[in-house]
Amino acid sequence: MVLAALAVLTGCSLGCRKASPSPPLASSPAAPSRALPAAPASSVALPAASSAASSAPPATSSASEPAWIASAELREVTWSWDDTPLGPMRVVVEIPANADEHHRLPVLVTMHGKGEAQKGPDRGARGWIDDYWLPKAVHRLADPPLTRGDLLGFADGKRLALINRSLAERPYQGLIVACPYTPETLHDDELWERGGQLAAFLVDQVLPKLRKETPSLDAVGLDGVSLGGRAALVVGLTRPEAFQVVASMQAAFDTKDAPELARRAAEAVKKNPSLQLRLLTSDHDYYLQANKAISRAMTKAGVKNELVVVPGPHAYEFNRGPAVYEMLLLHDRALRGQRFP
């Protein structure tokens, strides 16, 4: 049985739209923990359309500043589907204000945790924006260096130095970030069936809509935290051809799940040999040992992957601190063929 608890906030810490460059960093009051289930997982309709992966833009050999950098100011659109196999779905999309048809950006699809799943589609889809402080992180990445305060104190000195060195060598270049509602349906007994439905929704409906209605490139990354990390791995391994990078943070799995995930990862890289896989966890994560076991099993199966362990708990403070910065920087670099520490 998947162990442990996910905190649930009662409201937005930033307000419900643009983050100012310096919002308060105080954490919300502690909320009661809620265990994942006993057999756990962890307005405009669009016609279905297939999506195949395209090569990410080639790596840039020079570390000089790019000629154009996306704005830290974001414009937002919300898309709604009232009837899907998963129920009503919402996707909130954050787009740098100066992106246009001449300045296109890679796409990151990222999924929230269980606390937001319990809030329903309208509020849940805003998890990364309102509850995990994504707009603030974009502002700070555009104005480095980052500090221990930005990571809410969960900072390893060496890791923070590597992040700031990366930002000094090459500024944060920007992403279009799509935040879908992630329903709490990925229980063990229906994980791959329901995960396949979520994969079909994201790959066959959301990605084509992003390509049609936003200034996006074909390079797409997938990520998520806790329940969202569970969902990201299931979706990414189900439809690997749609993504260049599949990553997860504190993915809500048990150690017993490692062999099946490794088997499916081996199949996934056969379909998409260039697929990059990363698992990020933390030293006080409920799922630390499970994520280590998954990484070991993938390696044993011949699947190249990266395991990163950083300081922090399994809590909202982690999502607002290390998680959001690590996620944005990984995909900002990797989807452009660039190295991130």
**Span 206-249, pLDDT tens digits:** 999 999 999 999 999 999 999 999 999 999 999 999 999 999 99
Query: Predicted confidence band at 340 (pLDDT cuts at 50, 70, 90)?
Result: confident
Say what the pLDDT of residue 67 is: 73
Give the per-residue pLDDT at 122. 98
pLDDT score of 272 more than 80:
yes
C-alpha to C-alpha distance for 58 and 48, rounded to whole angstroms:
30
Report helix, strand or coil for 313: strand
* Overall average pLDDT of the 318-329 stretch: 98
Q: Look at residue 288 and tell me whether its pLDDT is greater than 50.
A: yes
Is it the case that residue 89 has pLDDT exceeding 90?
Answer: yes
Task: Choose between 179 and 3: higher pLDDT.
Answer: 179
Count helices and strands (H / E) in the chain.
Answer: 11, 8
Closest CA to 195 of 246, 252, 236: 236
The residue-averaged pLDDT of 53-61 equals 37
- Three-state DSSP class for 83? coil
**320, 132 Cβ separation under 8 angstroms:** yes
Whether residue 34 is predicted with pLDDT greater than 60 in this model: the reply is no
Q: What is the pLDDT of residue 65?
A: 58
Q: What is the pLDDT of residue 185?
A: 87
Side chain identity at 182, as an amino acid letter? T
* Length of the chain, in residues: 341
Stretch among 13-22, 65-74, 192-201, 223-232 having the lowest mean pLDDT? 13-22
The closest alpha carbon to 238, from 283, 287, 284, 193, belongs to 193
Q: Into which CATH architecture does domain 74-334 fall?
A: 3-Layer(aba) Sandwich (3.40)
Specify the higher pLDDT residue, 234 or 33.
234
* DSSP label of 274: T
Going by pLDDT thresholds of 50, 70 and 90, the confidence category of residue 66 is low
Q: For position 238, what pLDDT does the model report?
A: 98
Question: Looking at the predicted structure, is the pLDDT value of residue 26 above 50?
Answer: no
Reported as a pLDDT band with limits 50, 70 and 90, residue 341 is: confident
Confidence tier at 180 by pLDDT (50, 70, 90): very high
pLDDT at 64: 54
What separation in angstroms does the CA of 37 have from each of 1, 40, 134, 189, 315? Answer: 8, 4, 28, 11, 18
Average pLDDT, the chain: 85
Is pLDDT above 80 for 331?
Answer: yes
